[in-house]
Amino acid sequence: MNAVNRIATSIFDVLLTPFELLGSEWALILVSGIIGILALICFKFISWQKGIKAAKDKIKGNMIAIRIYQDDLGIVGKSVGNVLLRNFQYIGLNFGPIVPLCIPFALVLAQFVVRYGFDPLPVVETEEEVAGLLPGQGTLIDVTMREGAESQVLGLELRLPPWIRAISPLARSEGEGLASIEVVAVGAGQGEIEVLIDGKPVGTKEIVAGTEPTRVMQPERVSSFWSSWLWPAEDTFAAESPVAHVKFEYPDSELGFLPGGVGGVILVFLVASLLFGVLVLKPLNIQI
């Protein structure tokens, strides 16, 4: 899966570059629309278009029969039954081709989330501001160990970039295999949190602070195959690493006139891809 994510990231680096000259908002809208159109074209070629059209026509015919013969309970009852059966057929003919399209859609949506869903950690610029922070006002970094390796959390250490400062001690829970520390950014930068067990490096997690978003960033690095579908910007932890995941929270992104954050990115992607798709249904003669 790491190789697939690297390829997808490289493709989107190239694809989005010219559109981002218009701004992140327009890049998200236009590329989402293009993806929606491409998905419909793929749907046309992998679906039984004649069957879908026939099912729709038969549904319409039975609906007309219900309207014309509304006083004849026999015809109405038979037509209602036919409408229900044809609806099941219609749903089945659409659902089958949509299932394989969910795979590229998931890859695309994950790319949009790690590119447009987050802003870097804010920078606390003065010592007075750092000293005035209350518990919970910083950024909490959680490190979770793999199942069966929980006890190794006792030897865990975190090596932070110089512009990330710890404002709490590293707390460890052997029973949960969890370690947590609260930090704050005292300068802008892009670097890695290094995870060590008994002084030996076992993994890293990228962290970004400042005002300008980078090309890709995500708040979590994971170890499982399925989780890697959600977080494609960093490879999964190596199989021999005792670390299951490292996570913290980035602020939600601000996308101008669009809703920001992960929810906003997902909403814009779905709406834009659907609207662009609707516009090309008739010109491309696609039955759906």
Q: Which string of b and e fits 189-228 if b means at least 16 CB within 10 Å?
A: beeebebebeeeebbbbbbbbbeebeebbbbbbbbeeeeb
Strand partners, 189: 209
pLDDT of residue 85: 84
Domain ranges, ordered by start, for the chain: 2-117+262-281, 127-251
CATH code given to domain 127-251: 2.60.40
Task: Give the model's confidence band at 150: pLDDT under 50 very low, under 70 low, under 90 confident, else very high.
Answer: confident
pLDDT, average across residues 215-225? 88
Separation of CA 262 from chain center: 7
What would the pLDDT profile of 177-205 be if each residue is shown by its tens digit? Answer: 999 999 999 988 999 999 999 989 999 99
What would the pLDDT profile of 122-147 be if each residue is shown by its tens digit? Answer: 998 777 777 777 788 889 999 999 98
What would the pLDDT profile of 246-265 be if each residue is shown by its tens digit? Answer: 999 999 988 888 898 999 99
What would the pLDDT profile of 12-40 be if each residue is shown by its tens digit? Answer: 888 888 888 888 899 999 999 999 899 88
Cα–Cα dist 99/108, whole Å: 15
Rounded (5°) CA angle 219-244-114: 25
Cα–Cα dist 66/252, whole Å: 52
Q: In what order do the strands lie in the sheet with 200-209?
A: 156-159, 189-197, 200-209
- Please give the single-letter amino acid code of residue 4: V
Cα–Cα dist 210/143, whole Å: 23
pLDDT of residue 213: 65
